[in-house]
Every structure is written in C-alpha cells, then in structure tokens.
Structure 1
Amino acid sequence: MKIAFVGKGGSGKTTLSSLFVRHLAAVGAPVVAVDADINQHLGAALGLDETEAAELPAMGDRLPSIKEYLRGSNPRIASAETMIKTTPPGEGSRLLRVREDNPVYDACARPVELDGGAVRLMVTGPFSDADLGVACYHSKTGAVELFLNHLVDGPDEYVVVDMTAGSDSFASGMFTRFDITFLVAEPTRKGISVYRQYKEYAQDYGITLKVVGNKVQGPDDVDFLRAETGEDLLVTVGHSDWVRAMEKGRPSGFERLEEANRTSLRALQAAADATYGRRDWERYTRQMVHFHLKNASAWGNARTGADLAAQVDPAFVLGEEFVATA
C-alpha cells in the first residue's frame, strides 16, 4: 500500500509517520519510507543522528540516473532528458517493487534498523544554497513522483511518504498516488482549516482521506475533532512520554510505547490494508496520464523541446498482473 501523511506545519505528521513506520517494522512488514517534506526530519524521527541524516543520498540529486533506469527500453521515451516528473510507464519501462534490489534503491535508499527490523529510507534532500531564490521545492519531489508512478506494490507491502505541509501537496499530481492519505490534525481551527482545504481539493479524485487527531488532551478535543471531521476521524493520539524521549534522542524499545497509541497505530494499518481491495488500477493509470498531459502542455514540452504527449502508451495499464509477477 502507498500511504501519505499530510497536515499543517507543526501538526506532528512527521512524528506520526515515523511511529507508523516503526510499528510496521515491528510487525515484520516490508517498508519503504520516503521523506518528501521541505523540512527533512523523518530520518531523525527514525533515530538517525545529525551526521547520519545529513549523509542520506538526495533523490533530487540522482534524478538523471533514476530516469535512465526507469525508461528501460520504452520506445516512446527518446532519452532520459525528455522524461519529466510525471512521465508514466509504458511497454518496456522498468517497474519498481518494494522488496527487490534495484539501481534506484542502491543509489537513493539506505537501511535503517528499527527494533530488530529494517526499513528502506529515501529522502528528497533539503534546499541547498544554490536552490535558494531560483528553485521550487517541487522540482525535488519530482523524483518521488516518478518513483511512485513506476512502483507496483502488493497488499502486504508498505510505502510511507511524509509529504509537504498544508495544501502544498496539490502542486503536483502526487496526491493521487496513494491508497490512503492520513491527515494529521490538531484540535484547533487552524488544524481543521487544512483538513477542509485538503478535502475540497481531493474530492474529485477519489482520494481516501482519514483524519488522525494529534495532541489530543481530553474528551473535549475528541468531540471538537468529531464535530468538525465527522466519519473522517479515524483515531486520536495523545501525549506520549515515549515520543518525548525519542525527540530527545533517548527512546526506549518501541514495545514501551503507550498501549493507547499502539492501538491507534494498529488502526492505521487496518485502515490502510482495507483500501487495497478497492484499488482502481485503471483510474490510477488514468490520473497519472492526466497530470502528465497537464504538465507537458504547461511547461514540459517547452523545456524538453519534445511532444511529451507521445510518451503516453494508450494500451498500458498498471494492474494486478505486475504485482503477481513481482
């Protein structure tokens, strides 16, 4: 399953996504974790020190090699230089799997040990001095979008993406790449405003959106979130001494996380698992093509000097058969 964590800045989405990754690792599930936020904190939340986090290879810096591998022998893609972040796979393209070894993981992913299990961690990379004033952060997240477009994942595999804050996720078509999106909301008017905006933008795209109430201190906070989000509220998470110790760099074993919060993490996994049977592969591929054509006409054709609509393979649909042969 492909899972996104979104929310306003400071809502705790990176903390919640790291807890979910730890939970999945603890139950032995294969996981690829991706930090696609402009504030690169997922590595630290998973226990890396500052030096280790700084040494993680940035996907954005390796975009040319990622493109070269993914295009494979696809005759519709003349060169890696003509690929953009939305280029969809077609006949001859190389697809990626969660469990396999491949050159993309070799270049961009690093194993992180978590309570006896290991996850793959990939990061877009932070803004550099050269980027300031001249680059949009979404130029870096394009590597993540390409990765997701070419990924085929099964029902017992997990890709967890810590997304950019607020509604910035809608600056690309990446928001349609997920089986479920967990919106982390504090019990405040600002927290709810991001939820409303996200729900409005997503309503025409078949997005499965569930709210995770965070920093909840009592029944009044739960009642507030329930009144504002209705059935979209899935679980709430309260204060955690374990998380506070983790943020100080002194966590104990993950099995010591409070039972109420462990129950919430199990509910997140159950909600994610339930979405796989409803996955609409044709819609997934159609949306991929839709955003590619929009980007091609808006800027891609001019930048590459090519008609990028020709990259679309009309007969190609990602489907269960690619998972079955993984």
Structure 2
Amino acid sequence: MKIAFVGKGGSGKTTLAALLARHLAAAPDRPPLLAVDADINQHLAAALGGGEDAVLPALGDHLTELKEYLRGDNPRIASAAAMVKTTPPGRGSRLLTVAGSNPVYDATVRQVRGVRLAVTGPFAERDLGVACYHSKVGAVELLLNHLVDGPGEYVVVDMTAGADSFASGLFTRFDATFLVCEPTLRSVGVYRQYLGYARDHDVRVHVVGNKVADASDVEFLRAHAGADLLTWFGRSDWVRAAERGEVRSLDALEPDNHAALHLLRGAADAAEKDWPSYARQAAEFHRRNATAWANDRAGADLTDQIDPDFVLGDHHLLVH
C-alpha cells in the first residue's frame, strides 16, 4: 500500500509518518517497507532517529539516472530528456518494487534506524530564485508511477505541507491518505481545503488527530471531520523526547498512541487497490501537464507517451 501523510505545516505529519514507518519496520511480520521524504523541510530522517545532521543522497540529484532506468526500451519514450514527472509506464518500461534491488535504490535509498529511506533533497541555495521545489518532488511522482507494491508491502511518504501537495498529480498516487489535524481552526481549514480537492479525484482521506490533550479536543475534531476522523494521538513524552533527538524504543510509546498506530496500519490494509483507476489518473495528469507546459518544452506531443493498453498491477510482480 502507498501511504501519504499530509496536513498543515507544524501539525506533526512528519512525526507520525516516522512513527508509522518505525511501527511497520518493527512489526513481527517485517513487511517490505520504503519511506520517502517529499517535504520541502527535510526532517523525516531526523524523525526516524538519524539525527539532524544526517545527509542522504537526494532523488532530485539522480533524476536523469532515474528517468534513464525507468524508460527501459519503451518505444513511446524517445529519451530520458523527453520524460517529465507525470510520464506513465508502458510496455518496455522498467518497473520498481518496494524491496527489490535496482540502480535507483542503490544510489538513493539508505537505512535509517531499520527503515529504508529515500529523500527528495532540500531546497538548496543554488535553487533560490531559479527553481521550483516541485521539480524535486517530481522524482517521487515518477518513482510512484512506476512502482508495483504487492499485498503486505508499504510505501510511506511524508508530503509537502498544506495545499502544496496539489501542485501535481502526486496526491492521487496513494491508496491511503492520512491528513494530520490538530484541534485548531487553522488545521481544520487545511483539512477542508484538502478534502475539496481530493473528493473530485476519488482520493479517500482519513483524518488523524494530533496533539490531542483531552476529550474536548476529540469532540472538536469530530464536530469538524465527522466520519473522516479515524483516530488521534495524545500528547506524548515519547514524541517530545524524539523531537529533542532522543531515540527511545517503540515499546516506551504510550499504549493509546500504540493503538492509534495499529489503526493506521489497519486502515491502509483495508484500502481497495484499484490499478485501472491508478492508470487512468496517471494518464489524466500526464495529459494536463503535457498541454499546460511539457509539450512546449519538449517540442513534441508527450501525450503519445501514454500506452492505452498498459495497466500497472500485481501481475507485474511475477516477472520481477
């Protein structure tokens, strides 16, 4: 299952993404797992316990190699340079799996406290005034477009904050979207904004309350999120210690917060995998991007990259 954590900046989405990743990595069944930091503020490695100074190779710095690998011998794609963030896979494309070995993972994925992690890379000084961070996030969209995840496999992505997630079709690439919401009007406002966009694309949003102090906070979230409220996390000494750089065993996490993690995994496992819809959405956003800017940049009609008879799915795992 592909899982996204979204929400207002400062809501705690990175903390909860890291908590779920560590929870999955420590599960008795040891499911295949890949975590991805796609936030402009690159803190997932630190939240996993890697330290604030952890430096990981950036997907954004390996975009050309990523495109060249994924292109394979797909006859619809003339070159790596012709690929854009929304380019979908087709016959001849190379596909990725969650745990498989490939040159892309070799170059960019590293272990952080037992969690395999890839990062888009920070917004560097050389980017100021000349680049858009979404060009870096495009590497994640391209990766997810070509990634086949089977039952019991997980990809956990810490997304950009607020409505920035809608700057591309990336928000449609997930089976479960957890919107982290504090019991405040500002945080609820982001939820409503997100829900308005997501509803038009059949994106199921689960609200996860965070920094909940008492029953009145829960009632506030219920009043605003209704049936979308899946669970909530209370204020936590474990999380406070983690935010100070102290890495504790998950066994020390408060029982109620442990139970909330089980609910998150359960909601992800219960999500309906719809590969045909996944392919249709990929084609839709590729057409949008081609028409809006990519055709002019490439000097060609990039909608020709869409293979109408190709649908990504579990059956591709049989050949990987």
TM-score by length of 1: 0.96
Which residue of the other structure, out of 38, 41, 47, is the alignment partner of 1:39? Answer: 41
**C-alpha distance in 1, partners of 2:91/2:70?**
11
What residue number does 1:290 align with?
Answer: 284
d(CA) in 2 for partners of 1:11, 1:323: 36
Give, in whole Å, the separation in 2 of the partners of 1:124 and 1:299. Answer: 22
Q: What does residue 49 of structure 1 align with?
A: 51
Match of 1:161 in 2: 157
Aligned to 2:32: 30
Q: Aligned partner of 1:41: which letter?
A: H
Higher mean displacement: 245-254 or 180-189: 245-254
Amino acid at match of 1:228: H
* Counterpart selection for 2:293 from 299, 304, 313: 299
In the alignment, which of 184, 187, 209 is matched to residue 183 of structure 2? 187
After superposition, residues 10-25 of structure 1 pair within 5 angstroms as: 10-25=10-25
> Residues of 2 paired with 1:18 and 1:228: CA distance?
26
Is the contact made by 2:43 and 2:52 (CA closer than 8 Å) also made in structure 1?
A: no
Which among 114, 125, 128 is matched to residue 129 of structure 1?
125
SS in 2 for 1:215: strand
The runs of at least 4 aligned residues of structure 1 exceeding 2 Å deviation read 323-326
Structure 2: how far apart are the matches of 1:271 and 1:148?
A: 20
AA of the residue aligned to 2:282: M
Q: CA deviation at 1:325?
A: 4.0
Q: Which amino acid aligns with 1:13?
A: K
CA deviation vs aligned residue, 1:95-151 (integer Å, no higher than 9, x gap): 0001111111011111122xxxx2210001011111111111101100000000000
Q: Structure 1, unaligned stretches of length 5 or more?
A: none
Amino acid at match of 1:43: A
Q: In structure 1, what is the Cα distance between the partners aligned to 2:73 and 2:294?
A: 21
Q: CA deviation at 1:5?
A: 0.1
Inter-partner Cα distance in structure 2 for 1:177 and 1:241: 34
**Alignment-mate amino acid for residue 306 of structure 2:** V
Shift of residue 252 of structure 1?
2.1
CA RMSD across the alignment: 0.9
Larger mean CA deviation between 297-306 and 136-145 belongs to 297-306
Contact 2:35-2:115 within 8 A present in 1 as well: yes
Once the two structures are TM-superposed, the CA of residue 324 in structure 1 deviates from its matched residue by 4.2
**Is 1:252 aligned to 2:248, yes or no?**
yes
Letter in 2 for 1:290: E
**In the aligned structure 2, how far is the partner of 1:319 from the partner of 1:127?**
33
Q: Distance in 2 between matches of 1:81 and 1:230?
A: 46
Write the deviation string for residues 50-94 of structure 1: whole angstroms up to 9, x where unpaired. Answer: 33x2x2011111100000000001000000000000000000000
Tell me the residue number matched to 2:196.
200
Moved more, 24-33 or 167-176: 24-33
8 Å CA contact 1:181–1:209 kept in 2: the answer is yes
Q: Aligned equivalents of 2:191 and 2:160: distance in 1?
A: 14
Show the counterpart of 1:147. 143
Q: Deviations over 1:248-272 (max 9, x none)?
A: 1223211111111000000000000
The CA distance in 2 between the partners of 1:192 and 1:50, in whole Å, is 29
Total equivalences in the alignment = 318
Q: Which runs of 5+ in 2 are unaligned?
A: none
2:265 paired with 1:272: no
Matched residue SS, 2:111: strand
Cα deviation 1:155-176 (Å, max 9, x = unaligned): 2110000000001100000000
Bigger shift: 310-319 or 229-238? Answer: 310-319
- Counterpart contact for 1:149–1:288, Cα < 8 Å: yes
CA contact (8 A) 1:30 1:119 kept: no
Partner residue of 1:63?
63
Q: How many Å separate the matches in 2 of 1:103 and 1:208?
A: 33
| 1:323 shift after superposition | 3.3
Instruction: Write the distance in 1 (CA, Å) between the matches of 2:122 and 2:317.
Output: 32
Match of 1:120 in 2: 116
Separation (CA, whole Å) in 2 of partners of 1:78 and 1:250: 49
